[in-house]
Amino acid sequence: MKAYIFPGQGAQFSGMGLDLYENSTLAQELFEKANEILGFHITDIMFEGTADELKQTKVTQPAIFLHSVILAKTLGDDFKPEMVAGHSLGELSALVANGVLSFEDGLKLVFKRALAMQKACEAQESTMAAVLGLDDVIVEEVCKNIDGVVVAANYNCPGQLVISGEISAIDKACTVLTEKGARRALKLPVGGAFHSPLMEPAREELAQAIENTTFSNPICPIYQNVVAKAVTNPSEIKENLIAQLTAPVRWTQSVQQMIADGGTEFIEVGPGNVLQGLVRKIDRSVATSSGAALK
């Protein structure tokens, strides 16, 4: 069974999407429509921008979404998802790909999400750190016993868990985790504590926009970050998407469940190949490939 997976923030690169724009009229139309919806020429930044310009949250999130969704749409009849999932931001790309959201509504929600997260980051200094080489339960236990806000945020693959929270709490946690035997516990170059309680103001802001958006019946199940299992009911999909900003991304558990439900081939649709690497670390027996290779 084919599973299509969609990347999140961090996969951006200068020149992303240019090949799609140059080789497909449909892609051109969608990129131009995106410029119109966003009110600025995101295509200029995607195709020619510097790494710093691409790193702004208000650019990064729509850019990755557009690359992923437009690539999926240009695959035409080759794109036949039987199950989908997206890592963090990628969940919105997956929801457009499986017919729950329209292209326009998906892009508007992504932009709203980016601005709300940016605002929450500016309101309170916070960060994230990658912890390598420890069991999840040890990391969770350490976070629980640290003063201040620090939580497990991204279950990326066995032995790779990202924690999120206040800077002082993250620093303390990194020290303790290293003492407990972590191979590495290093802070990430991100502007905020995504998937932690510190994103509550952004969650509230986005909840309003999600409530007012039409969610249709999907053409195939989506394995959502919050619950790590197949969801097809539009109102449940809404609830999980609202909860996502302050809840952990259960990527390891989602991929394991997709495999248990018959997923044998994981195709990453969007910039980069990070998710293919994570899937291989979760289970070496499944095939992985890039959606770009299907073109």
pLDDT tens digit sequence for 78-122: 898 999 999 999 999 999 999 999 999 999 999 999 999 999 999
**85 and 100 belong to one structural domain:** yes
**33 and 87 belong to one structural domain:** yes
Supply the CATH number for residue 58's domain: 3.40.366.10
Please check whether residue 192 lies inside any domain of the structure: no
Confidence of residue 56 (pLDDT cuts 50, 70, 90): confident
pLDDT score recorded for residue 11: 84
Please check whether residue 269 lies inside any domain of the structure: yes
Please check whether residue 262 lies inside any domain of the structure: yes
**14 and 87 belong to one structural domain:** yes
| Residue 12: partners with Cβ closer than 8 Å, 6 or more residues away | 54, 55, 60, 63, 64, 271
pLDDT score recorded for residue 166: 97
**107 and 136 belong to one structural domain:** no
Confidence of residue 294 (pLDDT cuts 50, 70, 90): low
Residues taking part in catalysis: 88, 195
pLDDT score recorded for residue 172: 97
pLDDT score recorded for residue 293: 67
Confidence of residue 77 (pLDDT cuts 50, 70, 90): confident
**103 and 47 belong to one structural domain:** yes
List, in sequence order, every beta strand (DSSP E) within the chain.
Answer: 2-6, 83-86, 126-132, 150-157, 160-166, 184-187, 222-223, 230-231, 265-268, 287-290
pLDDT score recorded for residue 153: 98
Note down the domain range covering 162: 126-187
Q: Name the domain count of the chain.
A: 2
**118 and 134 belong to one structural domain:** no
**Final residue belonging to a domain, choices 139, 159, 187:** 187
Predicted model pTM: 0.96
In the block, which residue shows the tokens 């709203």? 112
Does residue 219 carry a pLDDT above 60? yes
**147 and 209 belong to one structural domain:** no
Please check whether residue 183 lies inside any domain of the structure: yes
Does residue 148 carry a pLDDT above 90? yes
**Final residue belonging to a domain, choices 150, 169, 187:** 187
- Mean pLDDT of the chain, nearest integer: 95
More confident residue, 148 or 76: 148
